[in-house]
A and B are shown apart, each in its own frame.
Chain A
Amino acid sequence: MTTMPVRRRRWRNTAIGLSFLLPNFIGFLILTLIPVGLLFYYAFTEWNVFGGATWTGLDNFRQMARDTTFWTALRNTLYYAAFHIPLTLAVSLGLALLLNRKLRGVAFFRAVAFFPYITSIVAIAQIWNMLFSPGFGPVNELLRWVGVDNPPGWTTSADWSMPAVIVVGVWRDMGYYMLLFLAGLQTIPGQLYEAARVDGASAWQRFRAVTLPGLRPTTFFITVLLTIGSFKVFDLILVMTNGGPGQSTLVLAQYIFRKGFEENQFGYASAVSIVLFAICLLVTVVQFVVNKRRSS
């Protein structure tokens, strides 16, 4: 190696390095990078499958401002996120704390809790649709048993379909985030708890003073993931309610799908995509800034 001039060696290194990247990068470039770039062009055009794209400037966005269905979809997405994020955080943290204790059967349960996350959406949606069945489903039977006379119609009712979807969303995701929380809990040194005990801190005080601060990086990361996950919620809703009844569970990602693949309005669908993309980006940036300020 030392016999080769420096310049030639660097050139050779670059060639070898690129040759490693290339097989993956070509696919990644064509199917991810370029589409992401094209998105920002299509959003300013009018385009359906027939004929090419015509530049229309901000027309799509003006149309969006007047499009009541778009606003419904946005509102529903926010509704889903507003409940899905805090509920999943609370449930998965609770599970992680429970599983972090020395109880028998914890290892088994850790595997079980993860299971909904790796089960297909189609199967999950179908099971829950049957469990939520208004007249004969087990969920409402349980509710009647505990004394609710008039249990909700769940996915058949415009008011209760979103709560039903949120319940299934939390149920599915909790195991995954629990695993992340568990990994975070294991980075908190045991001595801190011992010391807090010596100081006479109660269980609640230990949780507030040791666990929560120790988990801050984990919580931050999980919140970012959860936020993006909530805003892009799609396949669960598509299979469970298909956006209905009415438009009660129509979300942004599904609206993009309808405009793009069912009505073939690629330009308008791309404009809505940009809104989804911008929301996810904005939320992530805000969370990063807040986190930085809080930890400094």
Chain B
Amino acid sequence: MTTLLVPTPAETAAPAAPARRPSRVWRILGYLALAAAGAVVLLPFYWMVLSSLKGNNDVFTIPVQWITTDPVWSNYADIWSRSNMSTWLGNTVVLSAVVTMLQVLTGSFAAYGFAKIRFPGRDVLFLAYIGTLAVPWQSYMVPQFVMMTKLQLTDSLWSIVALQAFGALGVFMMKQFYETVPDELLDAARIDGMSEYGIYRRIMLPLSVPALASLTLITAVTTWNDYMGPLIYLRSPDLWTIQIGLKSFISQYNAEYALIMTGSVLSVLPIVVVFLLGQRYFVEGIATTGLKG
């Protein structure tokens, strides 16, 4: 097959042959496409921030004003008194922290059992985990609600903890990572008399910091953004998370466009910060869990 020809180093190194270099036209087209795609992705976010800094009557104007000369910063002060933003944000922070901690702990713990200890029945159990990854949550949310009702967890923050903390994703993701750790390393530790729990804590956990970081970020963001769980389970307003609170604020003040956008910015801001800080782990987490399936 001609496609298997290995190029000589000269061919790959020398950009001299003009035909092989992307021509200037292609390059310019590439940048144009990049700029267009960038605009499509970013303009909605820009619109959100811009509108949050406008007076309410200036949000919808013809033609659209793409810059504002005197930003209305007071929107960011008013939102706290017009809504229960601080309660919602507080609940969401607590939930995200608890869920993430539990998911990372129990997930990585179980993943070690699945990846590094041989015992009968292990593979069947793992198959159950994998199998449910393919079942859409929407199709079992009703029986799940019945279970939660029986456990008397509805209308408490614990329902969301229970809902999110024991997902199959964490187990799956950590197992993928643990399998890349060579068995010889663990056997050496076993011969030295270390227990399996010791190996998990002193060898596996330190080795898997990048994977743990990915799982932490993904779980935290998922919990922060979850809308359906809180919608189904949290009835009392003082338990609401930011997503439910924001949605109710939108329905209540549906003409206060500027304030609605202010609330939206505040609900997105923590995610932006987390994402910018840990972008590398996000991308790695997505790429590894995504492609092994």
Interface residues of A, Cβ cutoff 8 Å to B: 1, 10, 13-14, 16-28, 30-36, 38-39, 42, 95, 98, 101, 103, 105-106, 109-116, 118-124, 126-128, 130-131, 133, 135-138, 141, 171, 175-176, 179-180, 183-184, 190-192, 194-199, 209-210, 218, 221, 224-225, 228, 231-232, 234-235, 238-239, 252-253, 256-257, 260-261, 266, 269-270, 273-274, 276-277, 280-281, 284
On whether A120 and B44 interact (CB within 8 A), knowing A17-B117, A27-B106, A98-B33, the answer reads no
Name, among B63, B114, B138, B200, the residue most crowded by chain A CB atoms within 10 Å (CB to CB). B138
On whether A130 and B51 interact (CB within 8 A), knowing A21-B114, A112-B38, the answer reads yes
Set A95, A98, A179, A266: member contacting B283, Cβ < 8 A:
A179
A-B contact pairs, 10 of them (CB 8 A): A13-B118, A24-B106, A27-B162, A39-B140, A105-B34, A118-B225, A118-B282, A119-B225, A192-B3, A261-B145
A118 and B128 contact, CB distance less than 8 A: no
Nearest chain-A residue to B196 (Cβ)?
Answer: A16
A123 and B113 contact, CB distance less than 8 A: no
**What is the interface of chain B mostly: helix, strand, loop, or mixed?**
helix
Set A17, A238, A253: member contacting B122, Cβ < 8 A:
A17
Chain B residues, CB < 8 A from A221: 290-291, 293
Interface residues of B, Cβ cutoff 8 Å to A: 2-7, 11-12, 20, 22, 27, 30-31, 33-34, 37-38, 40-42, 44-45, 47-48, 51, 59-64, 105-107, 109-110, 112-114, 117-122, 125, 128-129, 132, 134-148, 151, 162-163, 165-168, 170-171, 190, 196, 200, 221, 224-225, 227-228, 232, 242-243, 246-247, 250, 257, 260-261, 264, 267-268, 271-272, 275-276, 279, 282-283, 286-287, 290-291, 293
On whether A228 and B47 interact (CB within 8 A), knowing A183-B290, A221-B291, A235-B228, the answer reads no
Name, among A118, A224, A252, the residue most crowded by chain B CB atoms within 10 Å (CB to CB). A118
Q: Report Cα–Cα, A23/B111, bound state, in Å.
A: 11
Nearest chain-B residue to A174 (Cβ)?
Answer: B41
A280 and B136 contact, CB distance less than 8 A: yes
A270 and B142 contact, CB distance less than 8 A: yes
Name, among A194, A199, A209, the residue most crowded by chain B CB atoms within 10 Å (CB to CB). A194
**What is the interface of chain A mostly: helix, strand, loop, or mixed?**
helix
What's the least CB distance linking B80 to chain A, in Å? 18
Chain A residues, CB < 8 A from B243: 120-122
Chain B residues, CB < 8 A from A19: 113
Q: Which 7 A-B pairs have the closest CB atoms?
A: A27-B166, A20-B113, A136-B60, A24-B106, A232-B136, A35-B143, A24-B110
What's the least CB distance linking B17 to chain A, in Å? 9
What's the least CB distance linking B106 to chain A, in Å? 4
A20 and B224 contact, CB distance less than 8 A: no
Chain B residues, CB < 8 A from A118: 221, 225, 271, 275, 282
Chain A residues, CB < 8 A from B228: 234-235, 238
A16 and B117 contact, CB distance less than 8 A: yes
Q: Report Cα–Cα, A245/B271, bound state, in Å.
A: 32
Q: Report Cα–Cα, A266/B225, bound state, in Å.
A: 27
A111 and B279 contact, CB distance less than 8 A: yes
B221 and A260 contact, CB distance less than 8 A: no
Chain A residues, CB < 8 A from B267: 120, 122-123
What's the least CB distance linking B9 to chain A, in Å? 11
Chain A residues, CB < 8 A from B287: 179-180, 183
B139 and A276 contact, CB distance less than 8 A: yes
B3 and A98 contact, CB distance less than 8 A: no
Chain A residues, CB < 8 A from B286: 176, 179-180
